[in-house]
């Protein structure tokens, strides 16, 4: 009976140790990603590490408006915002591209015209032959700052 208690105590200790080890590694990873993207990290799909770890699924699954896309991930800017953006370059019809992205967001239950006090804000913008889809994650009120005009 004493041996069974010792074995169970040892297993419980190992389980808690593994839990805290995994939790610590995860926290270090999350914090390092915040510092890694603090000044903004620009990348393409060819950079597999950044694309896989930094790109939100909404941007990964967005319709490809051209073969050339540049991704940008930016950490906290002291206002509680983080942002992720994809910009397609050499888009032949930017107005059509904007409409395609609006339909994509609506199909995914996202209303870009809705303003939320916390959560995420979405924006679609075109300049020249480029079309961008941006997601800003707000920790406090998104309406306090005009984050999309940066």
Distance, in Å, from the CA atom of 118 to the CA atom of 48, rounded to the nearest integer, reads: 30
Distance, in Å, from the CA atom of 99 to the CA atom of 13, rounded to the nearest integer, reads: 56
| Sheet of 119-127, strand order | 41-43, 68-74, 81-89, 130-138, 119-127
Distance, in Å, from the CA atom of 45 to the CA atom of 60, rounded to the nearest integer, reads: 9
Alpha-carbon dihedral 97, 99, 105, 110, rounded to 10 degrees? 140
pTM: predicted TM-score of the whole model, two decimal places: 0.68
pLDDT tens for 25-78 read 887 766 666 665 556 788 999 988 888 888 999 999 999 999 999 999 887 656
Domain boundaries, the chain: 1-36, 40-144
What DSSP state is assigned to residue 148?
A: G
The confidence band for 150, taking pLDDT boundaries of 50, 70 and 90, is very low
pLDDT tens for 90-142 read 999 999 999 999 999 999 888 777 665 557 788 899 999 999 999 887 766 56
């Amino acid at each position: 009976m004493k041996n069974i208690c010792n074995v169970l105590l040892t297993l419980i200790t190992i389980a808690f140790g593994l839990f805290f080890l995994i939790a610590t590694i995860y926290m270090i990873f999350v914090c390092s990603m915040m510092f890694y993207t603090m000044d903004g990290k620009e990348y393409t799909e060819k950079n597999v590490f950044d694309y896989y770890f930094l790109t939100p699924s909404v941007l990964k699954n967005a319709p490809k408006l051209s073969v050339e896309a540049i991704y940008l991930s930016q950490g906290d800017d002291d206002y509680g915002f983080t942002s992720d953006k994809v910009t397609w370059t050499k888009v032949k019809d930017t107005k059509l591209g904007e409409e395609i992205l609006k339909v994509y967001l609506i199909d995914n239950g996202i209303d870009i015209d809705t303003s939320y006090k916390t959560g995420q804000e979405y924006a679609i913008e075109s300049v020249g032959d480029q079309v961008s889809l941006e997601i800003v994650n707000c920790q406090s009120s998104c309406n306090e700052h005009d984050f999309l005009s940066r």
